[in-house]
Amino acid sequence: MKILIVEDESKISEYLRQGLTEAGYMVDLARNGLDGHHLAMTEKHDLIILDVLLPDIDGWRIVQSLREADNNVPVLFLTARDSIEDRVKGLELGADDYLVKPFAFAELLARVRTLLRRGNTNATETTLTVADLELDLMRRRVTRSGKKIQLTAKEFALLELMLRHRDEVLPRSLIASQVWDMNFDSDTNVIDVAIRRLRAKIDDDFEPRLIHTVRGMGYMLDSSSDS
């Protein structure tokens, strides 16, 4: 998987490259709009991360050029300006997602994975499995080690989200947004409580423990861990 980052701020771009490389992606980095435009138009990438505000050619233009050239590579916009007009403009021009600075790296990673998965997900998937945990999406049933577990609708949604994003760190804000449709930062430990309750049902009586807390970042469902 190859990702192009177009970002003129050197610190952010360097850290993004490091983070994404360590997450297992190949990363091309362009530090200005012209290089970014050139790389985007000439090389094949699986995803482009674009800063909107660039000194020469801005992000809008690059997306426009891409779409005019019938290039449907997924584009994730980064911007410091969070206005609805900007968001609408970005989406109209063909951006696939939108992230406002400052953002959590885990959130960026989660969105990158979602965008890369788009198009090759198995929509007909009816069961999700991790270790001995099984989710029957059709019948909304959960079993672990063959034992049936009763979950509320939201707990089920939360578990489904974690299974679909296994081995990814899910920030609390992303969980709130995806499971409860709460798109504002709430400074409460609501998500922690929800995770604790889910853990009590699927993890406490079993080995290995699947849900892990990633300090300062969020939660992760680890399919390989045995800690």
Partner 1 sequence: MRLLQRPLSLALRLTLLFTIAATIVLSVFGLVINKSMENHFFSQDTDELRVIVDAVQNALATANSDKHSATLEQRFDDILVGHHDASLFITTRDSGTLYISPEPDLSTIKIPHQSQLEADLERRWNYNGLPYTVLLRTFNEIGPDNRGPFRIVAAVPFDDHLHFLNTFRRNLWIMIAGSVIVMSIMGWVAVRRGHAPLHEIISRIRRISARDLNTRLPYEGVPYELVDLVTSFNEMLQRMDEAFQRLADFNADIAHELRTPITNLMTQTQVALSRARTINEYQDILYSNVEEYDRLAQMVNDMLFLAQTDNRKKIDVGPVKLDEEVDKLFDYYGGWAEECGIALERTGAAAIQGHQSMLRRAFGNLISNAIRHTPADGSVRVTISTENSGVTITVENPGQTIPPEHLSKLFDRFYRIDFSRQQGVDGAGLGLAIVKSIVTAHGGNVDVTSYNGLTRFQISLPLHQGPISTDNRLRRDK
Comparison of 10 and 188: residue with beta carbon closer to partner 1: 188
- Shortest approach of partner 1 to residue 142 CB, angstroms? 18
Q: Which residue from 42, 123, 216, 227 is in contact with partner 1, where contact means CB under 8 A? A: 216
Q: Any contact of residue 150 with partner 1 (CB under 8 A)?
A: no
Q: Following DSSP, what letter does each residue of the chain receive, concatenated? A: -EEEEE-S-HHHHHHHHHHHHHTT-EEEEESSHHHHHHHHHHS--SEEEEES--SSS-HHHHHHHHHHTT----EEEEES---HHHHHHHHHTT--EEEESS--HHHHHHHHHHHHHTTSS-TT--EEEETTEEEETTTTEEEETTEEE---HHHHHHHHHHHHTTTSEE-HHHHHHHHH---S---SSHHHHHHHHHHHHHTTTSSS--EEEETTTEEEE-SS---
Does 154 sit near partner 1 (CB under 8 A)? Answer: yes
Cβ proximity to partner 1: between 145 and 189 the closer is 189
* Candidate residues 184, 224, 226, 227; the one interacting with partner 1 per rule CB under 8 A: 184
Closer residue to partner 1, CB minimum distance, 91 or 193 = 193
- Using CB under 8 A as the binding rule, the residues of this chain from 66 to 125 that contact partner 1 are 82-84, 100, 102-104
Which position among 181, 224, 226, 227 is part of the footprint of partner 1 (CB under 8 A)?
181
204 binds partner 1 (CB under 8 A): no
Residues near partner 1, by CB under 8 A: 82-84, 100, 102-104, 154, 176, 180-190, 193-194, 197, 215-217
